[in-house]
Copies of this chain bind each other. A is one copy, B any other.
């Protein structure tokens, strides 16, 4: 009955996704704020149509949509997160078809936001519609929480979740806002790295000075900065900030083994990035370095004259932007203290140091053998017909730790995107195969999260 429904409404599901993608709901561009609002209204109406109760929460920024299935006492609570806002489409001239035309070509839906995140969360919406239409009772108590500010920092949502944490508490939180390890390779992401950002500025003379007249008699801020930065990481890629690694949870032998089995050709990887060779902390593989080891990364350097030719000055100041990626169980606050202490210690008296700590976010980690994780792995296997992989993610998804702490449930990250989906780039697309299989996966997962899940159509052993 479920299969039949999915088959029968397949074309309409795509048509509806196209309608959704056609809203130019660019959260970062004020000219598109009416489109954001129209998109939220369309979604609210859609939720009501499929049988959910909906509230549009006004915020200081863009509205948050909260939708619920009818409450049934005793069933587990599930929250599904998504975002209806999108990145700016620029540069538009690089798109093969207009960014908001939602054109289908060769099994792909092209459009800004097709994969990030409309196509991904809408698969869950269609799964919920399918279950509402075919199953009585609905297997869980379900809440959709769909925000409109993910691309500009989720400011309103973070506040909202904090304020309504008690009410929103859920046994499970499902998020599809990431990619799969490989094309069509179902993936459960069980960890992400956290982040701590810093900006440091070394001030020397009160103006750029003639490097001939004055050079040699005062500290050169750019050179001092180079010494400070070089003093944070050694030649072997090891961070030399005392205490930095103290809280790092070591990789288990099982994880290392599992990751070594994942296909990754270091030479091809280097060639794709355009570097002569991979590099990083000695003793770790590329995946381990990306997923499970913390970093001290310079994001930008600025000092003195940067135009063509030369200018013979001792620059007045030099600055660096830095972000550290953090891994379980590092605390951003503790790392902030350690980094700040170390940078101050490395600064000579001949200059003035200004240090700003920027945004930070803790790392996220969830077990792969929890009830929810096991259900997700089974649902992924069923829907994609292939043993799923358990991976970590090197990037930071701020909201995950937030959900985990505030909503207290098991967080399940089941990405339906592919790494070649061109998020934030021209010609973004969603694989229709991932959209349809994503709907089936969501149906299966919600049923499995119910106290008495229906048996899976066929069992594929998850690969951890």
A386 CB within 8 Å of chain B? no
Contacts of A380-418 to chain B: CB distance below 8 A: 393-396
Q: How far is the CA of A257 from the CA of B223 in the complex (A)?
A: 31
Check A212 against B229 for contact (C-beta < 8 Å).
no
Determine whether A325 belongs to the interface, using a CB cutoff of 8 Å to chain B: yes
Of the candidates B206, B215, B225, the one whose C-beta lies within 8 Å of that of A274 is B206
Instruction: Let me know if A310 and B306 touch, CB within 8 A.
Output: no
- Tell me which residues across on chain B come within 8 A of A217, comparing CB atoms: 269, 278-280, 286, 289-290
Provide the bound-state CA to CA distance between A314 and B280, in Å: 13
- Interface check A273, CB cutoff 8 A: yes
A213 & B298 in contact (Cβ 8 Å cutoff): no
Contact A310 B290 (CB under 8 A): no
A300 partner, pick from B305, B325, B352, beta carbons under 8 A: B305
- Interface contact B212-A396, CB-CB below 8 Å: yes
- Type the 1/0 row for A352-364, where 1 means its CB is closer than 8 Å to any CB of B: 1000001100000
Residue A210 at the chain B interface, CB threshold 8 Å:
yes
Q: With A and B bound together, what is the CA distance between A174 and B313 in angstroms?
A: 28
**Which residues on B sit within 8 Å (CB–CB) of A351?**
275-276
Residue interface mask A151-183, B partner, CB < 8 A = 1: 000000000000000000000000000000000
Residues of B within 8 A of A214 (CB): 273, 290, 394
Residues of B within 8 A of A393 (CB): 212-213
Judge whether A119 is part of the interface by a CB distance below 8 angstroms: no
- Size of the A side of the interface (Cβ < 8 Å), in residues, is 82
Shortest CB distance A54–B (Å): 33
Q: Is A199 located at the chain interface by the 8 A CB criterion?
A: yes
Q: Which residues of B contact A325 (CB under 8 A)?
A: 211-212, 215-216
Which chain B residue shows the least CB distance to A303? B301
Asked whether A218 lies within 8 Å of B280 as measured between CB atoms, the reply is yes
- Chain B residues contacting A207 (CB-CB under 8 Å) are 274
Interchain CB contact (< 8 A) of A206 among B197, B230, B273, B348: B273
The answer to whether the Cβ of A320 comes within 8 Å of any Cβ in the partner chain is yes
Q: Is A295 interfacial (CB-CB < 8 Å)?
A: yes
Nearest B residue to A212 by beta-carbon distance? B395
> CA A231 – CA B293 in complex, angstroms?
26
A205 on interface, CB distance cutoff 8 Å: yes
User: Chain A 81-124 against B: per-residue CB contact (8 Å), 1 yes, 0 no?
Assistant: 00000000000000000000000000000000000000000000
Residues on B with beta carbons closer than 8 Å to the beta carbon of A297: 211, 215-216, 220, 223, 312, 314
B218 lies within 8 A of A275 (CB)? yes
Contact partners of A299 in chain B: CB under 8 A: 211, 222, 304-305, 310-315
From B199, B219, B304, give the contact of A301 (CB < 8 A).
Answer: B304
List which A183-220 residues lie within 8 A (CB) of chain B: 192-193, 195, 197, 199, 204-207, 209-220
Are B321 and A304 in touch, CB under 8 angstroms?
yes
Q: Inside 8 A of A279's CB, which chain B residues have their CB?
A: 217-219, 348, 350
Residues A394 and B215 in contact, CB atoms below 8 Å apart: yes
16 cross-chain CB contacts under 8 A: A197-B312, A199-B310, A212-B394, A212-B396, A217-B269, A218-B270, A218-B273, A223-B229, A226-B298, A277-B349, A300-B306, A300-B315, A301-B306, A302-B306, A310-B323, A312-B396
The 9 closest A-B pairs by CB, nearest first: A206-B274, A212-B395, A222-B298, A300-B304, A279-B350, A230-B230, A226-B229, A301-B303, A216-B289
